Structure 1
Amino acid sequence: MLPGLCLSLLLMESATPALAEDGERPTLTVYTYESFVAEWGPGPGVEKAFEAQCRCDLNFVSLGGGVDILQRLRLEGDSTQADVVLGLDMNLIEEARRLELLAPHGVDLTPLDLPISWNDDTFLPYDWGRFAFIYDSEVLPEPPKSFEELLDAPEDLKVIISDPRTSVPGLGLLLWIKHVYGDQADEAWQRLQPHILTVASGWSQAYFSLFMNGEAPMVLSYSTSPAYHMAVDETDRYQAAEFSEGHYLQIETAAMLAGSEHPELAQQFMDFVLSKDFQREIPLGNVMYPAIDLGDELPEVFGRLIDPGSFTFSPQEVSANRQSWIREWLNATSH
C-alpha cells in the first residue's frame, strides 16, 4: 500500500465514530420541525447522505416548529435526548443560548453566503429566507404592493396567518409589523384584523390545509415558496407579493448539545451542515435559500423570485421584547 494512501485511510478512520461495543451503529438524535422531515422535505435526503458517511443511524425527532424545539429543550434541560437541534431561527437563539445546554459548533464560517454577516460560534446557519404573503394569482390578479395597501384593502380580501406564540412564521409577521410600524404596531394589527380569515397554529396548517384548499387568496409564508410550485408543480399560479416597506429576514440554524452522548458524531453532523451534500437538499426540500453558494446547482426558478429589501431585529432585541410584543398583539386583536 502506498504511504500516502495508508495515511489517508488512517485519518478517515480516526474521523469516523466507532461502532458501539455491542457492534450496533450509534444513533444521532436531531430535534427538528415536521416540514423538515416530511417526505417532500430535505430530511430524507440529508439522512441518506449523512448515514452514508457516518457509520451511524440519524434519528430525526419531529416537533411542530422552532418554538416547540425551544420549549422541548427548556422542559428537558440536561436530560434531553437530543444531540443536535435543527430549526431554531435567529429570533429564538438568544432564549436558547440562555438555557446553557449548547456547545460551540467549531465550524469554519468562511463558506457562508448570507445577506448579513454572521460570526456566532454556537448557532450555525443552514438556510435563510424572507417572510412574504403568497397569493393565488388566479383569484387575486393584483395583490397589495405594501402593508398600507393591504391594511386599506376592502375587507373581503382575506389572509391566513400563523400564531406568533406557536409558529416561527407567525413570530416573523409580528416582528415584520413591529419593524415597519414601531409604536403604531398595535394600530396596524387592528387595521389588519378584519382581513384575517384565521390564525393557524403553524405554517403547515396555514399553507397546505387552508391556503392550498382555497380558503383565502393570501397566506403568510416565504418569498421562496413560489419556487416549489414552479419547479415541482410546474405552475406560476402562486406568487409572492413584494411590499415596498421591505421584508423581514429569517436565518435558520443548527446547534449541538453540550451533553450529547455522541459528541464526535454531533460534531461530524455540524461539519456536514455546510457541505454541498446537505445544502443541495435545501432549495426545493426546505424551499429556502441555501447558506452557501451552490453555483449552478441552485435551481433556476430561484432566479425568478422577488428580491426585496430586507431587515431584521438583532436576536438580543427579539429576546428582550418578544413576550411584550406578543402581549401587544393579543391586546390589539382581542377587540
Structure 2
Amino acid sequence: MLKKCLPLLLLCTAPVFAKPVLTVYTYDSFAADWGPGPKIKKAFEADCNCELKLVALEDGVSLLNRLRMEGKNSKADVVLGLDNNLLDAASKTGLFAKSGVAADAVNVPGGWNNDTFVPFDYGYFAFVYDKNKLKNPPQSLKELVESDQNWRVIYQDPRTSTPGLGLLLWMQKVYGDDAPQAWQKLAKKTVTVTKGWSEAYGLFLKGESDLVLSYTTSPAYHILEEKKDNYAAANFSEGHYLQVEVAARTAASKQPELAQTIPPVYGFSGFSECDPNR
C-alpha cells in the first residue's frame, strides 16, 4: 500500500518545493554566453531562490513586436531591452506595469521622467571599424553617406532592431526633409541590412564590411575581453545619437513580486559593470 501511495504523495508535494520561474524577454547579445545575461542570472538566482529564464530575440524592436503579438497571454514577466525610442509605442500597448522606482533616482543624460520603464544602460550609436584595415574613416555621418569612398557598410533593420531605428532617427535629425535622398546614397554602400545587432557585428568581424553600426563603447569590449585594440568608433562631427535601454514589468506577470525586483537590480546594482559591450 505504501509503494502505491508514495508516487502520488510525491506528485502532490513536488510543486510545493518547486522554485518560481521568472521569465525575462531580452535581446540575443544580452543572453549570449559572452554577454552579461549569464552573470546577471547567476547573481539574481542566488538572492531570489527562483529560476531566471532568459528568452532571447534579435533586438529591442523584436521584443516589442513579440509582446504585441502575444498580448495579455505573454509568458514574459519582465521585458529587458526596449529603448527610449520605443517608449511611446510600448506605453500605448497597455501591457506594462508601473515600476515602483522613483524617476529622480535614475541618472541618465537628459534626465528621466517615466514611472513604468527603468533605464539599466545607455550609450551612443557609432560606426565601428578596424584600424588595421581602414586608415581614413569618415569624420561625419554626411561624409559616410556622401563621400566617393567605396566604404562597405552594414547596419540593422529599424523594423526589428533598436540600433537600426536609432540610425533612422539619426539620419532624420541630420538630413531632415532630405533624408530619403540620403538613404538612397547610403544604399549604394550597403552590404546588407540585418535583423539585429549580433548578426551585423558578426558579419563585420568576419570582414564582410568596413564599418558596422554599433556603439561608441564597442571597442572597449575587444580591449577588455580580447586584449585587442585595433577596433575604433568613428567620431562624427554632428555628434552621436543617444540610446537609453530600459527594463519593465508586464502587467500580466504571474510573478509580480519577483518581477518588481528586476528593474532596480538592473538599473542600480552595477549592471553596467557586467556589460562591457555597450
- Deviations 1:272-329, CA, capped at 9 Å, x for gaps: 22332534212x2xx22xxxxxxxxxxxxxxxxxxxxxxxxxxxxxxxxxxxxxxxxx
Aligned-pair CA distance for 1:155? 4.6
Residue 207 (structure 1) aligns with: 201
Query: Partners in 1 of 2:44 and 2:83 — Cα distance?
Result: 22
Residue 212 (structure 2) aligns with: 219
Residue 278 (structure 1) aligns with: 271
Moved over 3 A (4+): 108-111
SS of structure 1 residue aligned to 2:263: helix
Query: Partners in 1 of 2:262 and 2:68 — Cα distance?
Result: 23
Query: Partners in 2 of 1:269 and 1:170 — Cα distance?
Result: 27
Corresponding position: 1:267 with 2:263:
no
- Deviations 1:65-113, CA, capped at 9 Å, x for gaps: 1111111111111111111100111111211111111110001344433
Query: Partners in 2 of 1:101 and 1:215 — Cα distance?
Result: 39
Aligned identity (percent) is: 52
Are the aligned partners of 1:49 and 1:278 in contact in 2 as well (CA < 8 Å)?
no
The amino acid of 2:264's aligned partner reads D
Are the aligned partners of 1:49 and 1:277 in contact in 2 as well (CA < 8 Å)?
no
Corresponding position: 1:131 with 2:115:
no
Residue 232 (structure 2) aligns with: 239
Query: Partners in 2 of 1:96 and 1:123 — Cα distance?
Result: 10
The amino acid of 1:215's aligned partner reads E
Are the aligned partners of 2:122 and 2:242 in contact in 1 as well (CA < 8 Å)?
yes
Are the aligned partners of 1:130 and 1:222 in contact in 2 as well (CA < 8 Å)?
yes
The amino acid of 1:92's aligned partner reads L
State the aligned residue count: 265
Aligned-pair CA distance for 1:182? 0.6
- Deviations 1:94-147, CA, capped at 9 Å, x for gaps: 111111111100013444331111020000000011111001111111111012
Q: For 1:258, which of 238, 241, 251 is the aligned residue?
A: 251
Give the structure-1-normalised TM-score.
0.76
Corresponding position: 1:159 with 2:153:
yes
Query: Partners in 2 of 1:160 and 1:108 — Cα distance?
Result: 39
Residue 100 (structure 1) aligns with: 94
The amino acid of 1:262's aligned partner reads Q
The alpha-carbon distance between structure 1 residues 158 and 21, as it changes in their structure 2 partners (threshold 3 A), is: closer
Aligned-pair CA distance for 1:22? 1.4
Q: For 1:178, which of 169, 172, 190 is the aligned residue?
A: 172
- Deviations 1:6-52, CA, capped at 9 Å, x for gaps: xxxxxxxxxxxxxx961111011111111100001010010011111
Query: Partners in 2 of 1:133 and 1:205 — Cα distance?
Result: 15
Are the aligned partners of 1:126 and 1:279 in contact in 2 as well (CA < 8 Å)?
yes
Corresponding position: 1:145 with 2:148:
no
1:27-106 aligned at under 5 Å gives the runs: 27-106=21-100
Which structure 2 segments of 5+ residues have no match? Answer: 1-13
SS of structure 2 residue aligned to 1:91: helix
